[in-house]
Structures are given as structure tokens and as C-alpha cells.
Amino acid sequence: MKFRCFLKVACIVICSATFTQQANATVINGGFESGLDRWSLFTTANGTLGDSPLPQVAAFDVAGNSVSSDSLKLSVGYATAPCSFPGLYCSLPTEGGGIQQSVSILEGVYSLNVDIAVENTPLYGGRNGDGGTFYLILDGLVLDQVSFGEITANSVKRDQLNFQGLITEGLHDFQILVTRNYAQSDSLFQYIDNATVTPVPEPNTLGLLAVGCVVAFWARRKLPL
């Protein structure tokens, strides 16, 4: 009886720890269904997130699954030219901005994922030399980045920011930064959607313990009281 009781308590503790990790590893409003709630906007020193009404939440197919959903729409670039002809009389500035959220995490292995896209509309009828570079940042450390480079008119490019690794326990600064080497353009837009931080179960320890718990409960049903 004591042994069976111990197994039940152990299984409850294991399951509780797993669910606690899941509950504490959440980017709130990562799909922007509640607008910009829980997110903070920021810009680089000479950056912009776009002319009004940008930045804004808008419906767009960021993931490429033919379904438009709420996403963050930006139009990043530098706000003020550092010289008369950037790229000729001075270097091209890399400027823009992004979003930030504080995320509470228990120590463990996590998967961080963000859907991203760039749209070059036919407003001005030509290609754009830089669709933008997206950065996945945790506590100031760049975990992944995607540079879209040149993009033709009336086209969309899509990708993902991804990272998997060990993260220590605590409150962490989760950021998505977008920059360009040119001024903000009224025909070019960057999109962010489905930002997630998901715990990755340890394949060996938790798996064996789970099997053990199932066997223990099954055995209890077979044993006489």
C-alpha cells in the first residue's frame, strides 16, 4: 500500500512540474489577436516602424498557409538620412525597430519560433533592394536572423525565426527586431506573427517516468487490496 501511494505521489509531482513549465513558458498574445496588448514597441537610434497608421495589427498570410490572420505590420528603415546621398557620401545606415515582451521561464530546453514575411506592393512599380533583416533576440543575444535581401515588385517572401536550446530560469527579455539599410518605404511592409516559446520535453527521463507511472497504475488495478 505504501509503495503504491508513493508511486501515485511521484507521478503527480512529475506531471505538476511538466504543466508548470508549460504554463510559465508562454509568449502572451503571440498571434496579436488582442492587438498589441503585452507588447512594447521600440526603435533603433535613427529608426522608424513606419508612417501612421503603422505600426498596426493587420490581417495577412504570414505563414504561407493561405489563411490570413492578425499579424504585426511594419515598414521599417531609417527616419532621417545621415547625409545627402547615403551609400555614396556616407555609409548606408541600418535602422528600424521591433517589439519586446518579458517572458517568465523555468529552466529547461525550449523552442522559440516566429513567422515572418515581407511584402513589396506595386505602389511604385519596381523592385526594392532590401526587404529587411529580422532578428530573434533573447536578453540581448541574437539567437537567429533572416535577411530577405532584394525583393521584386508585387511579391511576398516568407520565412521563420527559430531557436532551440537550454534557457535558465527567470524573467527574460524576448525581442523581435527588424532593420533595413534604406529609408522607410510606403510600398514595402514587414510582418510578424505566431511568436511562441515552447518547452521541449526531455526525451529520456520524462519518458521513462511516464511509462513507469502507467505501469504502476495498471498494476494497482490488478493487485488485490
Q: What is the distance in angstroms between the CA of the first residue and the CA of the last residue of the chain? A: 8
Per-residue confidence (pLDDT) for residue 7, from 0 to 100: 42
Is there a cis peptide before residue 55, judged by omega within 30 degrees of 0?
yes
The pLDDT of residue 169 is 96
pLDDT of residue 204: 52
CA distance 130 to 60: 20
- Is residue 122 a contact partner of residue 154, using CB atoms and an 8 Å limit? yes
pLDDT of residue 25: 53
Q: Mind listing the pLDDT tens digit of every residue in the chain (225 residues)?
A: 544 444 444 444 444 444 444 444 579 999 999 999 999 999 999 999 999 999 999 999 999 999 999 999 999 999 998 888 887 878 888 999 999 999 999 999 999 999 999 999 987 768 899 999 999 999 999 999 999 999 999 999 999 999 999 999 999 999 999 999 999 999 999 999 999 999 998 765 455 455 455 444 544 555 454
Dihedral of CA atoms 13, 111, 47, 187 in degrees, nearest 10, equals -130
Q: Determine contact, residues 155/194, Cβ cutoff 8 Å.
A: no
The C-alpha atoms of residue 191 and residue 57 are separated, in whole angstroms, by 9
CA dihedral 42, 138, 186, 159 (to 10 degrees): -170
Q: Structure pTM?
A: 0.81
Q: Are the C-beta atoms of 177 and 74 separated by less than 8 Å?
A: no
Hey, what's the cell of 12?
503527480
Domain 28-201: state its class. mainly beta
For position 126, what pLDDT does the model report? 83
Residue pair 146/61 in contact by the 8 Å Cβ criterion: no
Give the pLDDT confidence score for residue 135 in this predicted structure: 98
